[in-house]
Amino acid sequence: MELTRRQTLSVAAAAAVPYVVPSGLLGRDAPSRQITLGFIGLGGHGLGYNLKTFLYQKGGRAVAVCDAFGRRRQQAAAVVDKKFGSKGTTQYADFRELLADKAIDAVVISTPDHWHVPMSLLALAAGKDVMCEKPTLTIAEGRTLVETVARHKAVFQTGIEDRSIIHYHKMAEIVRNGGIGTVHTIRVKLPGGRAFPLEKPAPVPEDLDWNLWTGPAPMSPYTPSRTGPQQWRNIRDYSGGKLADWGAHLLDTAQVGVFAEGSGPVEVEGHGKVPTNSMTTMPVTYKITYRYANGVKMHVESGGVAIRFEGDKGWIGNNGWRGRLQASDIKILRKTYDPATSKIWPRPAGEHRNFLDCIASRKPTTYTAEAIQRLSTVMHIANISIRLGRKLKWDPKSESFGGDDDANALRARKPRDWANA
C-alpha cells in the first residue's frame, strides 16, 4: 500500500523543483564537487522512490549502493549506471563498508524500521550527513538520535514528504491561522494491518545476508515472505505496525495544525486487535484517543485514509491520500494568508531537494531528528497503551509515563548483538 501511495510522487515532478546551486560549493555542477550519496536499503521504496528521485536532483551524485540482498544492489547499481552512462557505481554487501568510504558525503537509509536509528547512529559516527526513512522503532532510541545529530552538528533529514504536499500544507495553514476558529477535535483514519499466515522456516537465499537484514532485532528463522514490506511492517520486531507507518504522515499534519509538532499529547488510550496463529504481531485494527494539554482531542482509527479538523467556526479535511480539500464552508478554502504574518512556514521543497540544499547551507531540514522523534512518539505511546490495555498519562517534556514502571519499560528495547553474531 505504501508503494502505491509513494508512486504518486513522480520523479518528473521532483526534477521540476527550481534549484540554484551554491557556486562556492558545487561550482557549475562539476561532478568532482557534487555531494556524493550512498544508498542503503534498496527495496521497492529505496530504489523506486528515494534513489530514482535523487538521480534527478542537481548537486548530488549517487556513487554507491548497499543492500543485504545481492540482487537488489545489483539492480540499483544498474539503474545508476544507466543514468550516468557508466559502470562506476560501487556495490556494498555490508553497510559498514559503505560508511567507511571517505568518498561518500551523505547516506540515504531506506531499510525496515528496526534499522533506521541504529544505522543512522553509525553513519553519524562515520561523519556522514543522513537522510533516513520514517519512523523510529522506540522512544528511547529516537531521543538518542536527536542527541547524536546535535553532537556531530550533522544534517539529518527524515524521508517524509507531507509538509511539502500542498493539500496538507494548506490544511495546516488554514487551521493554524484560525480559519475554523478554535480547534477542539481532530479525526484521523489510517489503514489497518494484515494477518499473515504462519510460515515454515526455509533456507536463506544465497544472495541474502540474513544476520545483517535482522540486525538489532531478535533473530528468527528465515521464512519466504518475512522480508516483504507489507509483512515486516506487521511484525513488532521490525516495526510499529501500520499505525506507525501511515500515522507518520497524517498525524504529522494533525500535530502541525494545532501547534503540537514540537511537543505531543498528554494522554492516550488505545485499543487494538492482534490476530492469533499468525506471523502478524501488531494490531490489524485499532482505535485510539489522544488528549492534548490545550484540551484538543484526536481520534484515530483504522479503516481508511482521512483527516479532519473540527473547530468552533467550522471544519476542514480530506478523504484519501492527497484527497481534495473539503470544508464546512467554501469560504474557508478560499481565504488567503499573508506570508509575512502567516502562522506557518512557507511550503518547502520535497525532502530530497531539501536534504541536498541543507547539506550545502548547513541549515535545519524540513524534518529534523527532533521532528521525527516527536512524531514517532505519538504512535509509540499508542502502541504501548494498546499493549498494556489501558489509558496512559504522557509527559512530552520528560518523554515518560510518570511513575508507570510497566509503560516506561516499553520505551526501549534491548538490541541483539548482531555485529558479533
Pairing between β-strand 183-190 and β-strand 306-311 as defined by DSSP bridges: antiparallel
Taking phi over 0 as left and psi of -120 to 50 as alpha, with beta for the rest, 328 belongs to alpha
Question: What is the predicted pLDDT for the residue at 32?
Answer: 57
CB count in 10 Å sphere of residue 291: 17
Nearest to 172 by CA among 32, 43, 294, 348: 348
Question: What is the predicted pLDDT for the residue at 230?
Answer: 84
Let me know: does 390 contact 277? Beta carbons within 8 Å.
no
Q: How far is CA 365 from CA 153, 351, 357, 360, in A?
A: 13, 8, 9, 11
Return the CATH number of the domain spanning residue range 165-195+230-344+370-413: 3.30.360.10
- What does the pLDDT profile of the chain (421 residues) look like in tens digits? 333 344 333 333 333 333 333 333 444 455 557 999 999 999 999 999 999 999 999 999 999 999 999 999 999 999 999 999 988 899 999 999 999 999 999 999 999 999 999 999 999 999 999 999 999 999 999 999 999 999 999 999 999 999 999 999 999 999 999 999 999 999 999 999 999 999 999 999 999 999 999 999 999 999 999 998 789 999 999 999 999 999 999 999 999 999 999 999 999 999 999 999 999 999 999 999 999 999 999 999 999 999 999 999 999 999 999 999 999 999 999 999 999 999 999 999 999 999 999 999 999 999 999 999 999 999 999 999 999 999 999 999 999 999 999 999 999 999 999 999 8
Phi, psi (deg, nearest 5) at residue 244: -75, -30
Extract the C-alpha cell encoding 368: 529534523
Question: What is the predicted pLDDT for the residue at 112?
Answer: 97
Q: How far is CA 212 from CA 102, 117, 120, 149, in A?
A: 22, 15, 15, 24
Q: What is the pLDDT of residues 60-88, one digit of tens each?
A: 999 999 999 999 999 999 999 999 998 88
Question: What is the predicted pLDDT for the residue at 22?
Answer: 39
**CATH topology (fold) of 2-162:** Rossmann fold (3.40.50)
Per the listing, cell 513522480 goes with: 10
Q: How far is CA 15 from CA 54, 56, 57, in A?
A: 9, 5, 6
Q: What is the secondary structure of 229-273 as a DSSP string?
A: HHHHTT-TTT--HHHHHHHHHHHHHHHHHTT-TTS--SEEEEEEE
Question: What is the predicted pLDDT for the residue at 31?
Answer: 56
Q: What is the pLDDT of residues 392-417, one digit of tens each?
A: 999 999 999 999 999 999 999 999 99
Say how far apart CA 404 and CA 236 lie, in whole Å: 22
Pairing between β-strand 90-92 and β-strand 60-66 as defined by DSSP bridges: parallel
CB count in 10 Å sphere of residue 374: 21
Say how far apart CA 243 and CA 276 lie, in whole Å: 19
Cis peptide before 229 (omega within 30 of 0): no
Let me know: does 11 contact 83? Beta carbons within 8 Å.
no
Question: What is the predicted pLDDT for the residue at 399?
Answer: 98
In terms of Cβ atoms closer than 10 Å to its own Cβ (0-12, 13-18, 19+), residue 409 is exposed
Per the listing, cell 510518570 goes with: 402
Q: What is the secondary structure of 364-410 as a DSSP string?
A: --SS-HHHHHHHHHHHHHHHHHHHHTS-EE-BTTTTB-TT-HHHHHT
Domain with CATH 3.30.360.10 in the chain: 165-195+230-344+370-413
The DSSP output letter for 69 is B
Mapping DSSP to helix (H, G, I), strand (E, B) and coil, where does residue 21 land?
A: coil
Angle at CA of residue 9, ends 8 and 15, nearest 5°:
150
Strands laid side by side in the 106-109 sheet: 90-92, 60-66, 35-40, 106-109, 129-133, 156-159
Question: What is the predicted pLDDT for the residue at 23?
Answer: 34
Q: What is the pLDDT of residues 305-321, one digit of tens each?
A: 999 999 999 999 999 99
Say how far apart CA 136 and CA 13 lie, in whole Å: 28
Nearest to 384 by CA among 369, 372, 400, 396: 400
Say how far apart CA 193 and CA 283 lie, in whole Å: 7
Domain with CATH 3.40.50.720 in the chain: 2-162
Output helix, strand, coil percentages for the chain, rounded to the nearest 5: 40, 20, 45
